[in-house]
Amino acid sequence: MAIDLEYLSQLSDGDREFEAELLSVYLEDTASHLAALEEAVAAGNVE
């Protein structure tokens, strides 16, 4: 997964603590979404 660090810096106005928080939330959410997708594919549920 690619993360555009320059864009992240623009969004956060250079606030490194906020960047870390955004990345943490993104990674947590992405992991759960990927797990749900893997389960759906394994179950043959493509909807």
Burial 7-24 (b: 16+ CB within 10 A, else e): eeeeebeeeeeebeeeee
- Contact between residue 22 and residue 12 where contact means Cβ atoms under 8 Å apart: yes
Q: Write the pLDDT tens digit of every residue in 1-47.
A: 688 999 999 999 999 999 999 999 998 899 889 999 999 999 998 77
Could you tell me if residue 33 is inside a domain? Answer: yes
Could you tell me if residue 31 is inside a domain? Answer: yes
Looking at residue 1, its pLDDT comes to: 66
Residue 39: how many other CB atoms lie within 10 Å: 10
Could you tell me if residue 20 is inside a domain? Answer: yes
Looking at residue 24, its pLDDT comes to: 94
Domain that holds residue 22: 14-47
Could you tell me if residue 9 is inside a domain? Answer: no
Looking at residue 47, its pLDDT comes to: 72
- What is the value of pTM for the model shown? 0.63
Could you tell me if residue 44 is inside a domain? Answer: yes
Looking at residue 4, its pLDDT comes to: 94
Could you tell me if residue 5 is inside a domain? Answer: no
Could you tell me if residue 7 is inside a domain? Answer: no
